[in-house]
Amino acid sequence: MGSFIYSVLGDPFVQMLQMPDFLMQVVWEGFVSGILYALIALGFVLIFKASGIFNFAQGIMVVFSGLTLVGLHELGVPAFLALFITLGVMYVLAFSVERLVLRNLVNQPDIILFMATIGLTNILIGLGQWIFGGETKSMITEQLWLPTGSSVWEPGGGLVIFQHIDIAAAVIAALLIICLALFFSKTKVGRALRAVADDHQASLSVGISLNHIWVITWFAAGIVALVAGIMWGARSDVSFSLQIIALKALPVLVLGGFTSVPGAIVGGLIIGIGEKLFEIYWGPLFGSGIEGWFAYVIALIFLLFRPQGLFGEKIIERV
């Protein structure tokens, strides 16, 4: 018994202290995964804020955009033109979702809209497989001028390896988040987006068209999905199994709150780093596959103590 307690509460920390360079490596890798979780969660948050819809299709949008990009390139379209066309495809998707789904289901209960996004998920899976085939593809990393090498850092005799694509992912994700933040705070469309997130009726009364805003938010979520798709694809592969990873956004959202952009970012990083640390240092105790469920455990525990999320407002039930 005593040795079990030691192996849970003592040994992992001793290991961390003994090999700080390895700890750094683990934290860095968790950090990069965390950024990608954050991007996926960010897509959810954007749509949830603007329309109150839990978009189940966000994960598949990541796969679909990545697949479109790679698929177009396979058909002989130059990489950057393919990137541009993929953006166009994401716009068409946003536009169609608004026209065909949201517009007709407005004022329906949330559960109906949620079901509609499940439908959308299956349509996108079908469409993706039909057009580009179901097999795994590799991301056109070099063609998009993304770096592929790695650098070694040797702090005090230790060894930490940085994949350049990971550094690029971190930088690009940060840039994307900064752009979105500026867009929200400094432009009139951003102001309209915040208005719609706050109050639909009031927005309408000042002449903001909800339909227009929905197209913009779904497009923004599509761009975020595309960036996540490229980065994740470059680290592993582009395949439909990616959408499982996208489900990691759920615990991230529980942690960060469904309506908080900073929450999505911080939540993503906590899950990403926590999961990696746990897998490496405690994984042997609990068996492999811990990466699959650890995030949900954190989220569940968190849910008990702070159901509104890290940055969410306190939920006060009106009676």
Partner 1 sequence: MKDIAQGYMTEDGRQIGAVLMELKNITLKFGGVQAITNASFDIREGEIRAIIGPNGAGKSSMLNVINGFYHPQEGEVWFHGKKRPSMPPSEIARQGIARTFQNIALFHGMTTVENVMTGRQLMMKKNFFWQLLRVGPALEEETVHRRKCEEIIDFLEIQAIRKTPVGSLPYGLQKRVELARALAMEPKLLLLDEPMAGMNVEEKEDMSRFILDVNDQYGTTIALIEHDMSVVMDLADRVVVLDYGKMLADGTPDEVQKNQAVIDAYLGVEN
- The binding site for partner 1 (CB under 8 A) comprises 182-183, 186-192, 194-195, 197-199, 201-211
Nearest-angstrom CA–CA distance, 204 and 31? 41
Q: Which residue, 144 or 310, has its beta carbon nearer to partner 1?
A: 310
280-317: burial string, b at 16+ Cβ within 10 Å, e else: bbebeeeeeebbeebbeebbeebeeeeebbbbeeeeee
Q: Which residue, 144 or 189, has its beta carbon nearer to partner 1?
A: 189
| Nearest-approach distance from CB 106 to partner 1, in angstroms | 11
| Nearest-approach distance from CB 71 to partner 1, in angstroms | 30
Angle at 101 between CA 96 and CA 103, to 5 degrees: 95
| Nearest-approach distance from CB 137 to partner 1, in angstroms | 33
Q: Which residue, 202 or 244, has its beta carbon nearer to partner 1?
A: 202
| Nearest-approach distance from CB 183 to partner 1, in angstroms | 7
Q: Which residue, 123 or 179, has its beta carbon nearer to partner 1?
A: 179
In the DSSP assignment, the letter for residue 162 is E
Phi and psi dihedrals of 299, rounded to 5? -60, -40
**Cβ(44)–Cβ(253) below 8 Å:** yes
Nearest-angstrom CA–CA distance, 158 and 163? 17
How far, rounded to the nearest angstrom, does the alpha carbon of residue 91 sit from its chain's CA centroid? Answer: 19
| Nearest-approach distance from CB 49 to partner 1, in angstroms | 10
Nearest-angstrom CA–CA distance, 226 and 27? 25
Q: Which residue, 74 or 198, has its beta carbon nearer to partner 1?
A: 198
Q: Which residue, 159 or 202, has its beta carbon nearer to partner 1?
A: 202
| Nearest-approach distance from CB 12 to partner 1, in angstroms | 42
